[in-house]
Amino acid sequence: MADNDDLSTTKTEGFKVGEKKTMQQYNELDKDDDAMVRWKASLGLNSGDPIAQPGDPKCLIKSLSLKVQGRPDVTIDCSTPESLAALKDKPFTIKEAATFHIQVVFQVHHEVLSGLKYLQIVKRKGIRVSKDQEMLGSYAPNTTEKPLYSKEFNEEEAPSGMLARGTYNAVSKFVDDDDHTHLLFEWSFVIAKDW
């Protein structure tokens, strides 16, 4: 795996991670408070049956998709080690100056996931050209009523011009407020004059 020291999270001054609670504690928390009941419902607590199996990870990243209007999505399967291992050697193409956004599909198991973030370092010829962080939020465990979560990142524009064209290498990770890394992988893409 590439050197990923640059993928440390940026801490917000004065922010403290809340106390961990079990699902039972969340269910009992202020159950007579209407605002708390609405907040728990917005997280998906108390709706449907849990889908997690013993041994399932707390967070399972299923896929990342590159979405460009008017073009088929480019979807990266993140669910198996084999699919992730192939990413670095099979770059996909992005047309220069194209406007795109990324969509992630994932599952949360067993307990509330707090402060999930996506971090990414992009390098070209060994030199860092960008570092991005996208906050995804906090999520209750998935249930039969809500088996998957999907989040779209902010829109971006691919670099353009002759100097921008070429192959880029990226290291990405998903991490939570407890600094637990749920997925770390390398991948590559090509900025080209056309698709």
pLDDT at 133 over 50: yes
In a domain, 113, yes or no: yes
* Helical ranges in the chain per DSSP H: 23-28, 34-43, 81-87
CB atoms < 10 A from the CB of 134, how many? Answer: 16
Specify the pLDDT at position 14. Answer: 55
Q: What is the mean pLDDT of residues 151-167?
A: 95
In a domain, 8, yes or no: no
pLDDT at 49 over 60: yes
Q: pLDDT tens digit string along 177-195?
A: 999 999 999 999 999 999 8
Place of tokens 């749920």: 182
Nearest to 187 by CA among 71, 47, 62, 78: 78
CATH code at position 117: 2.70.50.30
Q: What percent of the chain has pLDDT over 70?
A: 80
Specify the pLDDT at position 90. Answer: 87
**Which of the two residues, 35 and 75, has the higher pLDDT score?**
75
Q: Which of 6-20, 79-93, 114-128, 153-167 has the lowest mean pLDDT?
A: 6-20
Specify the pLDDT at position 124. Answer: 95
Mean pLDDT, rounded, of the chain: 86
Specify the pLDDT at position 59. Answer: 96
Q: pLDDT tens digit string along 73-110?
A: 999 999 888 889 888 888 989 999 999 999 999 999 99
Long-range CB contacts (< 8 A, 24+ apart) of 176-179?
176/59, 176/113, 176/114, 176/115, 176/116, 176/117, 177/17, 177/114, 177/115, 178/17, 178/114, 179/9
Q: Residue 190: beta bridge partners?
A: 93, 167
In a domain, 166, yes or no: yes
Query: What CA–CA distance (Å, rounded) separates 91 from 135?
Result: 25
Query: What CA–CA distance (Å, rounded) separates 94 from 97?
Result: 9
In a domain, 15, yes or no: no
pLDDT at 27 over 90: no
Looking at the 3D structure of the chain, how many domains does it have? Answer: 1
Can you give the residue range of the structural domain that contains 94? 20-192
In a domain, 2, yes or no: no
In a domain, 4, yes or no: no
pLDDT at 2 over 50: no
In a domain, 11, yes or no: no
Enter the DSSP assignment of 76: E
